[in-house]
Amino acid sequence: MARGETTPTSVRRPLGTRFAAGLYALSLRAYPAAFRRDVGAQMIETFRDRWHGAGRRGALSPWAVLLGGILDSLNNGLGERLHPGRGNRLPSDSPRSPRRRFIMGSIFDDLKRAARRLQRAPIFTASVVLTIGVGVGAFVSIYSTIDNVLWEDMPYEDPDRLAYLWRNYTWADFPRGWAGGIDVLAIRENVDSIEGVTALRNGSVNLSSRDGGEPQEIRVTLTSANFFDLLGVPPAMGRGFRAGEDIEGANLVVVLGRDLWQQRYGADPEIIGRAIYMDGEAAEVIGVLGEDFHFTMHASLSAPANADAYVNMRWNLAEVEGGSFAALARVREGVSAEALQAELDAVIEPIDREYFDSLGLRVWPAFMREDLVKDVRPALIAIGAAAAFMLLILCVNLATLLLGRATRRSSELAVSAALGASRWALLRDCMSESLLLTFSGSALGLLLARWGTTLIADVAVDLPRRYAIGIDASVAVAALVTATLLGIAAGIAPAWRAARTDMARALREAGGRATSSRAPGAMVVAQVAISLVLLVGAGVLARSFVYLMRSDPGFDPDGVLTVRLPVTPDLYPEAVDLMNLFVGIRDGIAALPGVEAVGGVNALPLTQETAQTSAAFPSSPLNSGVEQEDTLLVDWFTVIPGYFDAMGVAVLAGRDFRGADDAEAPRVAIIDDTLAERFFPGQDVVGQTMMFRGIPHQVVGIIDQPRLYDIHQDDRSQVFVPLAQEPGYGTSLAIRTRRDPVALVPEIQRLVHGIDPDQPLSDFRSMRQVVAESLNGERLSLGLIAGFAAGALLLATLGLYGVVSNAVSSRTREMGLRMALGADGARVRSMVVGQGMRLALIGSVVGIAGSLATARFLESLLVGVAPADPLTLVAACLGMALVTLIACYVPARRASSVDPLVALRRD
C-alpha cells in the first residue's frame, strides 16, 4: 500500500516546485538588481516555503500562490524601482493625489480597471479567452497523453533495465519469436549482464462456480517464481511466488489482480489462503495485487495483453526447446547493449548448434518501454505535430486580436501618456489587461484539459499505458508559462509604442487612416500555409481510413454474431465428448429461427490470437531440396465445420470441411490462396499432400484469406484443420443470422446453459464490432488530426476575414473615391477579393511545400495512399481557395456597397 501513496504526487511535486520557483525567480527581475542581490535568494526560499505550505491545503492552492507571487513581484518590483526604499502603502494609509494614484495604484486596482474595460468589449474578451482556453486545453491534453504514454515512468522498480528477450530465427526471416525454456535456463545461469529472467505465458482458465461466483473465463499469466521480484513490485496483500513453486508437480497458487478480487470476490480481506477452482483444479490464493499494479505482457506476433490473475508456471523449462515463452529480463546496471548482446550470443550458440543445426538462432533484447509504445509512437507524434500546428495558428490569431486591440486603444494610451502617465504606468495598464485575459484563458484551458485527458483515456482503448493518462504537471506548467509570456509580450508591445509615439500622430491615426504594415498579411500567409499542411495530413489519413474500411477483409462481417466458448478441459477429457458438446451447441443454435449458418474457430479474424507452425509441400515444383527453405511459418486454426459459411469466407476451390472429417478419417486441411500461390503458382492444389505439424494432410480446399492481423493485409499464410482431428478447448462460435445479431444473445445463452449450466460464454460481439474495434487506433488518429485541421481552417478563415475586413474599413475613403470616379461595385469587389486571394495563394504555395516536407512523418500511418497524394493536395487547395473566397467576399461586398458620399465625408 505504501507504494500507492508515494507514486504520482510526490514524484511530480519537486518538478512542479522547480518550475514554480524558477518562474518566481524570473519574476524577481522586476526588482532592481541591488535589491535582488540583497534578498533575492531569501525571497525564493520563502516562496518555496509558501508553495509547500499551500500544497498541504490542496492541489490548486500552490498555483494561486505562484500567481499571487508573480503579481506581487510586478507590483512591488516596479514600486521599488520607482521609489527605492519606500514601501507600498496600503490604500487606507493615506489619501493619494489622482496622479499618484494613477502611477502607484496597486496592481489589483489595475486588474479591476482592466476587468471593467474588458467587460465593455465582450466579443473581444470572449474570443481571446476562448482561443487561449482551447489552445491551452488542446496542448495540455495532447502533450500530457504523449508524455504519459511515451515517457512517464512505468510502475516498476527501475523500468529502463527491463527487457524482453526474443528469438530471431535468422534463416526464416522471423525476428521476433518466443523464447524456449532452454534459452531461459541458459540465460539465467550463464549471462552475468542479466540479474534475473522470468518466463511468462498468457492463457485463459475457467473459474468454476464452486467459489460462489458465476462460471467465468479469465485471462491468466503463468510466470516463473521470480516474476514479482524482477519487477520490484510485491503484491499489496499476501505474498508473491516463492522459489520452488515454479517446478513440475508444485501446487497451483494464484495472485489475484485488483479488479478480479474486487469484482468476483467483493474485495474479501480474508481471501488469502482460500482455494479457488481454475479449470477444475484447486488453486490457493497467496496474494492480491495493488491498485497501481499494471502489467502488460508483450507478445511475439499478437497484441500485448493484460491478465486478471497470475499463477505459478509448473513446467520443466529444460524440456521446452521450442519457442513458447515471453522471457522478461532485468539487465544489470551499467551494462552496454553490445556487451549484453555478445553474452547472449555466446550462451545461445550451443543451443543453435544442438537444436537448429547452426542455422543462426539468436536471442536479442527489446527494452520494455520502447517495445510497448513503438506501434503508437508514429501516430502520437503525428497527432502532437498536428496539435502544434494548430497552436501556432492559434498564437498568430491571438497576436492579431491583441494587436488589433492595441491599435484601437492606441489613442487612449497616447492621451494618457500626454497627460503625464509614465511608461511604467502604461505598461502596467496594458499588462494587467493581457495578463487577465491570459489567466482566465489558461484557467478555462486547464478545465478543458481535465475533460480532454479523460476523454482520450476513454476513447483510446488501444493505447498502451492508458491508465497513466492524466494532466501532467510539467506540461500544464509549460502551457501556463507560454501563455503568460505571450500575455506579457502582448502587453508590452502596445505600451511601448504608446510611450514612444507622439500624440498628434496617434490621434490622427485613430481617426481611421491606414498605417501600412506587412504584419497582418504575413500572418494570413502563415495561417493559410499551416492550415493547408494540416488539411492535407487529415485528407490523406481520411483516404487511408476509407481504404481500410473498403478493403476486403476476406470475410463478410455483416449479420455475424461471435461468442467465445471456453471449455473446461477436466469436464471433457475425451475428444469425443468435446466434439459432442460443440456439435450439440452448433446444431442447437442452427435450429434457432433466423440463423443461416453456424461454425466455430479457435481464433476469429482480426484478433491476432492464434499459434504458428510450419508447413511444407513435398510435391511442390518450387522446392529447393533444403528443408529450411521449403518450409513456411503459417498461422493455423482449428475449425468446427460451418465456420466458412457463417463467416462468409469464400471457398475458391475444393470443398469445405464436413462432419465426416473426424478423428478416424484421413487428415485433411484447407489452405488459403496465398499459401497455394506460394507453393503451386497457377496450379491446382486440391488433392496435394501437405506436411503439417509433422503429419501428412490432404489439402481438400482453398479459401480466400480472412485477415487475422490487419484488415488490409496479412504477412502470413493460413492453414485450417478440423477441430475433430486436433482437439482444443478454446473456441469461438460464428453465427450468421438474418435477424439483429444482438437479439440472438439471450437465446444462445439459454440454449448453452441448457446443455451445460457451468459452461461460460463470453465476449458476445458482432463481427462488425470486431472490425470497428480493429480500426480504433486509426479512427482516433484520424479524428484528432481532422479535428485539428478543422480548427486550424476555422481559425485561418477568421484570421483572413479579420485582416481583409480591417483593410477594407481602413480604406473606406479610398473605395468611396474610386466609386465616385466611376469604378463599379464589381470592380471594387474583385479588387478586395483579389487582394485576399493573393495572400491565400502565397500561403497555399508555402503550404504545399510544407506538406511535401512533412509527408514522410505520416508515411508509417498510411495504407493504400501516398503521403503526398496529388488528389488530396488538389482537393485541399480547392477547399482552401473556396474558404478564402468566402472570407474575402463578405468584406468585399461591404466595400462595394459603400455610398461614395458617405465615405468621402467620413473622417
CA–CA dist 810, 125 (Å, integer): 23
Q: How far is the CB of 50 from another protein (least distance, A)?
A: 7
What ranges make up the beta strands (E) of 144-265?
Answer: 162-169, 174-177, 179-180, 194-207, 216-223, 237-238, 253-256
Give 38 or 715: the residue with its C-beta nearer to another protein. 38
Residue 879: how many other CB atoms lie within 10 Å = 15
Q: What share of the chain is helix, strand, coil (3-state, %, to 5)?
A: 55, 15, 30
Give 35 or 227: the residue with its C-beta nearer to another protein. 35
CA–CA dist 116, 110 (Å, integer): 10
Give 48 or 768: the residue with its C-beta nearer to another protein. 48
**Cα distances (angstroms) measured from residue 393 to each of 131, 398, 876:** 10, 8, 17
Contact between 409 and 98 under an 8 Å Cβ cutoff? The reply is no
Give 35 or 265: the residue with its C-beta nearer to another protein. 35
Give 69 or 791: the residue with its C-beta nearer to another protein. 69
Q: How far is the CB of 83 from another protein (least distance, A)?
A: 10
Q: How far is the CB of 11 from another protein (least distance, A)?
A: 22
Contacts of 78 (CB under 8 A, 6+ apart): 30, 424, 428
- In the structure grid, which three cell numbers stand for residue 755, read together? 446443455
Give 14 or 682: the residue with its C-beta nearer to another protein. 14
How many helices (H) and strands (E) the chain has is answered by 28, 23
CA–CA dist 907, 904 (Å, integer): 8
CA–CA dist 817, 805 (Å, integer): 18
Contact between 658 and 586 under an 8 Å Cβ cutoff? The reply is no
Q: How far is the CB of 473 from another protein (least distance, A)?
A: 22
Q: How far is the CB of 80 from another protein (least distance, A)?
A: 6
Q: How far is the CB of 101 from another protein (least distance, A)?
A: 18
Give 47 or 582: the residue with its C-beta nearer to another protein. 47
CA–CA dist 139, 126 (Å, integer): 19
Please list the residues that pair with 689 across neighbouring strands. Answer: 698
Give 77 or 642: the residue with its C-beta nearer to another protein. 77
CA–CA dist 196, 193 (Å, integer): 9
Please list the residues that pair with 405 across neighbouring strands. Answer: none
Rg (C-alpha) for the chain, rounded Å, is: 35
Give 47 or 164: the residue with its C-beta nearer to another protein. 47
Contact between 822 and 870 under an 8 Å Cβ cutoff? The reply is no
Give the chain's length.
Answer: 907
Give 79 or 816: the residue with its C-beta nearer to another protein. 79
SS3 373: helix
Q: How far is the CB of 126 from another protein (least distance, A)?
A: 31
Which residue, among 582, 607, 562, has the nearest Cα to 759 in the 3D structure? 582
Residue 819, H or E segment: helix 812-820
CA–CA dist 854, 867 (Å, integer): 9
Give 72 or 152: the residue with its C-beta nearer to another protein. 72
Query: Residues 114, 117, 123, 129: what is their CA dihedral angle, to the nearest 10 degrees?
Result: 10
Cα-Cα-Cα-Cα dihedral sign, residues 887, 893, 898, 900: positive
**Cα distances (angstroms) measured from residue 483 to each of 122, 496, 675:** 20, 20, 59
Residue 206: how many other CB atoms lie within 10 Å = 25
CA 100 from chain centre, in angstroms, equals: 56
Q: How far is the CB of 56 from another protein (least distance, A)?
A: 12
Contact between 587 and 604 under an 8 Å Cβ cutoff? The reply is no
Give 106 or 226: the residue with its C-beta nearer to another protein. 106
Give 35 or 572: the residue with its C-beta nearer to another protein. 35
Give 369 or 428: the residue with its C-beta nearer to another protein. 428
Q: How far is the CB of 31 from another protein (least distance, A)?
A: 8
Please list the residues that pair with 278 across neighbouring strands. Answer: 207, 281
Burial letters 615-632, b for 16+ CB under 10 A, else e: bbbeebeeeeeeeeebbb
Give 32 or 196: the residue with its C-beta nearer to another protein. 32
Give 107 or 391: the residue with its C-beta nearer to another protein. 107
Q: How far is the CB of 93 from another protein (least distance, A)?
A: 7
Q: How far is the CB of 892 from another protein (least distance, A)?
A: 53
Give 79 or 539: the residue with its C-beta nearer to another protein. 79
Q: How far is the CB of 492 from another protein (least distance, A)?
A: 20
Q: How far is the CB of 54 from another protein (least distance, A)?
A: 12
What is residue 714's DSSP assignment?
A: -
CA–CA dist 187, 193 (Å, integer): 10
Q: Which residue has the cell 476486403?
A: 552
Residues binding another protein (CB under 8 A) = 31, 35, 38-39, 42-43, 45-47, 49-50, 53, 68-69, 72-73, 75-77, 79-80, 85-90, 93
Give 89 or 550: the residue with its C-beta nearer to another protein. 89
DSSP string, 54-99: HHTT-SSHHHHHHHHHHHHHHHHHHHHHHSTT-PPPPTTTS---HH
Q: How far is the CB of 72 from another protein (least distance, A)?
A: 4
Q: How far is the CB of 23 from another protein (least distance, A)?
A: 13
β 631-640/718-722 pair status: parallel
Query: Residues 592, 595, 599, 605: what is their CA dihedral angle, to the nearest 10 degrees?
Result: -130
Q: How far is the CB of 484 from another protein (least distance, A)?
A: 18
Q: How far is the CB of 9 from another protein (least distance, A)?
A: 20
CA–CA dist 10, 7 (Å, integer): 6
Q: How far is the CB of 425 from another protein (least distance, A)?
A: 18
